[in-house]
Amino acid sequence: MPVSLSIIRGKHEGLTFDLRGESRAVIGRAPQATITLDDTLLSRKHCRIEFTEDAVLLIDLNSTNGTYVNKKRVETEEMSPKDFFQAGSNLFQIQSTPRQAPPSEHSYLCPRCRKEITLEDSDGSEEKACPHCGRPAFPGKEVIGIYEVLEIIGKGSTGLVYKVKDLKTDRTLALKTVRLEGEIDAKTISRYLRVSHTEGRLFHPNIVQVHRTGKANGFFTIAMEYVEGITLYQKICEEERIELKEALSITKQVANALVHASEKGVVHRDVKPENILVAHDLTVKLMDFSIAKRFRPQVEAPVTLAGEGLGTIYYVPPEQIYNAANVDGRADVYALGCTLYHMVTGRPPFKDSKDRGRKKGALIRILAGDYRPIVDYAPAVEGPVADMISKAMAREADRRFQSPSEFLEELEFLSDDSESSA
């Protein structure tokens, strides 16, 4: 039974998790849970949902605060679509998601009656009536598949990113588009399809959730959670430097996201300020797993070829320059260390104005581990914090923190220490 899970009330109200293809899902605070939520009322592994062809089974995992159905604490309960249950501070609803053919790229759904309308019915310049319900359905706005474009919010190397309204759910989303023409080859689309599927299974409060992928109007589209805020890169540009306490908080949240990804066998490979969103409520979210890789054995053929270097200069570790196919979680540790260096100093570690935009000089410095000490630009950042950043950015992977979780432990220790001494 294809199922999705929505939080309809509570701290994380509005989140929906697509669980198609899953035989079971664990809800809890632990990074290794299928759905990880920052909720102090949840146990680390609070409850489990198991799926069969015609039923859904809810199982409490000896949680401290219990799992409730109709206000009754349960140990095991058979559920049906549209049923509700309480876990922690959130009220969940189970929803069936039957496989339906999406509207074609020359049609979309009427926002009123939800029936399919061909785009040929509208010239896009004036309101016309829906042929099914008779109400105005063509407001003259741009539509991509089932998404009404509200505004352009970003531009990537392969296409634009839009703020859109999902005409099926009325939900506001971000829509990343990749135009299917020119230099966009089958391998590129294969990577986006496979990785967006992986990202769609990463349920964590510090990861931007992917809701749906598809093709429409000549684009490959990725619909994802819309976050009101700015990228960390924009924040650094506006503030020049990030105060140490806030920088450590941001880094901890990204590290939490990387721990969850690592537990799922995923390496991001492109951690950088441009791929980190800082919401208005100061929640930090990691996004864009478009060049991520799975490092656990799998049946699928690898998307990254041996010897192919991926990532963004100034944040990419030496081993990824040589061979991006064989990197592990230590590559993300390195990139996050470089990002923390950038936050507290106001500049990427391997950037030099003498390069004049050329990459060769930066590559030589990265391979040599040659960057200016943090105290040269940020004298207040010294001692254990500076040592931690240097360890994360060690040229040899064996000298770094050996996993995102090890890096997170050090971040939490130093954050607690700095707060107690403040």
> Is 376 part of the annotated catalytic residue set?
no
CA atoms within 13 A on the CB side of 307: 0
Spatial separation of the C-alpha atoms in residues 420 and 422, rounded to whole Å: 6
DSSP 224: E
Question: Which residue, 316, 295, 317, 315, is CA-closest to 304?
Answer: 295
DSSP 160: E
Plot region of 114 (φ>0 → left; ψ -120 to 50 → alpha; else → beta): left
Q: What share of the chain is helix, strand, coil (3-state, %, to 5)?
A: 30, 25, 45
The set of long-range contacts for 23-32, using a CB threshold of 8 Å and a minimum separation of 24, is 23/50, 23/51, 24/48, 24/49, 24/50, 24/51, 25/49, 26/61, 27/87, 27/92, 28/61, 31/204, 31/256, 31/259, 31/260, 31/262, 31/263, 31/405, 32/260, 32/263
The single residue listed with the structure tokens 């809890």 is 28
Task: Name the amino acid, one letter, at 50.
Answer: E
Which 3 state secondary structure label does DSSP give 407? Answer: helix
- C-alpha to C-alpha distance for 264 and 18, rounded to whole angstroms: 16
Picking from 265, 292, 106, 332, the residue whose alpha carbon sits closest to that of residue 210 is 292
309, 317, 310, 337: which is closest to 404 by C-alpha?
A: 337
Length of the chain: 422
**Residue closest to 381 by CA, chosen among 248, 256, 272:** 248
Provide the 8-state DSSP code for 338. H
Q: Please tell me which residue in 270, 281, 387, 398 is annotated as part of the active site.
A: 270
Q: Mapping DSSP to helix (H, G, I), strand (E, B) and coil, where does residue 254 land? A: helix
Residues 47, 33 contacting (CB under 8 angstroms): no
Active site residues: 270
